[in-house]
Every structure is written in structure tokens, then in C-alpha cells.
Amino acid sequence: MAASQASLLLQKQLKDLCKNPVDGFSAGLVDENNIFEWSVTIIGPPDTLYEGGFFNAIMSFPSNYPNSPPTVKFTSELWHPNVYPDGRVCISILHPPGDDPNGYELASERWTPVHTISSSCISQFFHTEVVESIVLSIISMLSSPNDESPANVEAAKEWRDRRDDFKKKVGRCVRKSQEML
């Protein structure tokens, strides 16, 4: 039951995104037979080190979505304090709801599930804003790295202490992403 509601919700969100594209990213299915895996391309935001890059990621939704958050993993190389070396994105909005066991985040910064009575209420109330807000949070992360709670400690140290080296690595990632087009 939950998986079918999640499936209906994701179909609606994808349809809405296709009808009303949002600047800065594009989204589609990895496989037409699996609504739970989306391919997302994020365009490096203007006036940032990532400007001009085209960074591909997979957004995987759980069967109990929207009660649990999706995961986002870059498949393009990305050097960033809030992206694990394997590409997984680490931002508050993608962390499970509730209190942070480590005490770094407020519950209000973490994933917030939507509580509704029926799938028709969900589709009327809860459409593209969620996926859009996740991707816009990732774009914001590219603009303003959080080196206080890093997923990639080396990138965070470089961001803080050796900014020129950091910029060179990011520049290589941007060029590599452009070559992959």
C-alpha cells in the first residue's frame, strides 16, 4: 500500500517537473520501469567554483516515501566537503526525521514527512516542491559548503586551509563534467 502511494506521488512529481522545469537542474527516470530511481543533472551555480559544471546524480526514493527521505549520490566526480568520497550527499534535509543523535542538527532542519489522510490529498498538497527543494538545497550546498560537519574531511580541510588547492580540484571536476556531455 505505502509503495503504491509513493509510486503515485513520484509519478505526479516527475510529471509536474517535466511540465514546469526549474532552473539549475533536470530530472528523469534512470529506468522507465522504476519510478523510485531518478537521474538528476545539476548545473553548477553561477558565481561559484562549480559554475559551468554538469553534475549527474541518482536520487533513490524509499518505498515509504514521503515518510522517509530519498538518498542522493553523485555519479559525476565532485570535490566538496558535504559529499562523501563515494558521491553520497550529506545535507540535513536528507537525514531521517526527528532529533539528530549527534546533536549537530535541529529536528526542523531534517527531513519532514507529510502526514495526510489519502493519496488524493497527497497529490493535491505535495507535488514538485519536495524534489525541487531537495535539489535546490544541493545547489545551495555547492554555493556554501558546510565545513563544520563534513562528509569529506579532506575536502573540508582543503576548503579551510588550502583554498587554492581546493579550487584547482573543483576546476578539474567541472572540466571533467563538461567532457562527459
Residues with a catalytic annotation lie at: 90
Q: Would you say 137 and 20 are in contact if contact means Cβ atoms under 8 Å apart?
A: no
Please answer whether residues 80 and 94 qualify as being in contact, where contact means their C-beta atoms are separated by less than 8 angstroms.
no
